[in-house]
Chains A and B, each alone.
Chain A
Amino acid sequence: MTAEAISEGRTSGDFWDGVRLSMPVVVASAPFAVLFGAIAVDNGFSVLEAFLMSAMIYGGASQMVGIELFGQHVAPWLIVLSIFAVNFRHVLYSAGIGRRIAHWPVLQQAAGYFILTDPQFAIAEARAESGRPVGFIWYLGLGLPVYLFWVVESGLGAVFGKMIPDTHALGIDFLLPIYFLGLVLGFRKRPLWAPVVAASAVASIIAYRTVGSPWHVSIGALAGVLLAVILPPHHSGVGKRP
């Protein structure tokens, strides 16, 4: 790993590098933050509670599932278990990114894991792969805008939710799949990319049809990861990595 230059200018440059990469994420997640706030209030949350849920859990899909179950008066422990199930994929992110940020001080690592969302992981992995260091300041530049906009927009959605226009015509329900597809394509130069994507796609669709959501995410992900583990190492290119 190259030595990190910690001069003043370099550090703030790293921060703004991260901020620039965060912008598509801020745009793609904004409608969901507002939508979450609106749905939360509709399901019996106060504005403060909607705001708190976004600030403390900070995981869009799990918040939507939690609020939906809350509105149906499901038992509290089952709501928490469902949030855990939806977020279970982060275990894999955590195992993957740990290799990149193990050199940070412990408190910085603790904060880093708190904001470890799908795009945060994907973009940090892509940076590590390109051979550049994943520094705390850069990581914060990437994650902080997304977090702040997410929390504030959730609150705005909770206050002004009733004024949201036709979400279907605006394509809001399909923006995240497009964004995630873009992230998947960004990793296409990795060894085993095509077989891993194929295995995960097929397994997640079968699991979605049989076991149901949200387990299709964990099952599909494990299928792709297991394939990479099982195939002989000379296919996965691990030995050749610097």
Chain B
Amino acid sequence: MSTTFWIILAGAVATYLTRVGGHLVISRFETIHPRVEAGLNAVPAAVLTTLVAPELLHAGPAEWAALIVTVLVSLRGGLMAMFLAGAAVLILARQFVG
């Protein structure tokens, strides 16, 4: 087996540990404290925000336009509408401002 294969295998094991690990730790406790539950409820917004926020540092006019349109569409539409509108604005704007 090549080194590459072992890197992939070890990377896969490490990744699976992150995907199952939080559950294995939390499930040791009989009851979940309200504050811990509040923390868990905050996980989606907290983590997903970190995948977007640093992008604002390098965002130009095209990227800002796309994000603003995404927010506006979110007031009325669903996820698919949001995504398609944001992507359309981005691609269109980049034809003009690069």
Q: Which chain B residues lie closer than 8 Å to A24 at the CB level? A: 79-80, 83-84
Whose C-beta in chain B lies nearest to the C-beta of A53? B8
Measured between beta carbons, the chain B residues less than 8 angstroms from A164 are none
| A91-B21, A94-B18, A171-B87 known; A197-B80 Cβ under 8 A | no
Report the number of A-B residue pairs with Cβ-Cβ less than 8 Å.
285
Kindly state the interface size class of chain A when it binds its partner. Answer: 35 or more
> Chain A residues near B14 (CB, 8 Å)?
80-81, 83-84, 87
B66 touches A174 (CB 8 A): yes
Given the known interface contacts A95-B22, A113-B16, A116-B19, the answer about A76 and B7 at a Cβ–Cβ threshold of 8 Å is: yes
A144 at the interface (CB under 8 A from B): no
Question: How many residues of B sit at the interface, in one of the four size bands?
Answer: 35 or more
Residues of B within 8 A of A171 (CB): 62, 66, 87, 90-91, 94
User: Which chain B positions have C-beta within 8 A of A168?
Assistant: 94, 98
Q: B17 to chain A: which residues have CB within 8 Å?
A: 84
Q: Is the CB of B20 within 8 A of A113?
A: yes
- Given A92-B43, A95-B25, A95-B26, A233 and B38 contact (CB-CB distance below 8 Å): yes
Say what secondary structure dominates the interface of chain B: helix
Question: Would B80 and A23 count as touching, CB distance under 8 A?
Answer: yes
Task: Give the distance in Å from the alpha carbon of A227 to the alpha carbon of B55 in the complex.
Answer: 23
**A126, B45: Cα distance in complex, Å:** 11
Residues of B within 8 A of A174 (CB): 55, 63, 66, 90
Given the complex, which residues of B lie within 8 Å of A169, measured CB to CB? 91, 94-95
In the complex, which residues of chain A have a beta carbon less than 8 angstroms from the beta carbon of B3? Answer: 76
Cross-chain contact B5 with A238 (CB below 8 angstroms): no
- Report the minimum CB–CB distance from A84 to chain B (whole Å): 4
> Is residue A147 contacting chain B, with contact meaning CB distance below 8 A?
no
Residues A181 and B18 in contact in the complex (CB < 8 Å), given A200-B45, A238-B38, A238-B41: no
From residue B25, how far is it (CB to closest CB) to chain A in Å? 7
| B60 CB to nearest A CB, Å | 10
Q: Which residues of B contact A (CB under 8 A)?
A: 2-12, 14-27, 32, 34-57, 62-63, 66-67, 70-71, 74, 79-80, 82-84, 86-87, 90-91, 94-95, 98
Chain A residues within 8 Å of B, Cβ to Cβ: 23-24, 27-28, 44-46, 49, 52-53, 56-59, 62, 66, 70, 76, 79-81, 83-84, 87-99, 102, 109-110, 113-114, 116, 118, 121-122, 125-126, 168-171, 174-188, 190-193, 196-197, 199-205, 208-209, 213, 216-217, 219-231, 233, 236, 238-239
20 contacts between A and B (CB under 8 A): A24-B80, A46-B4, A49-B4, A57-B8, A59-B15, A66-B7, A76-B10, A87-B14, A93-B22, A96-B44, A114-B19, A171-B66, A178-B70, A178-B90, A182-B74, A184-B45, A191-B38, A217-B47, A229-B36, A229-B42
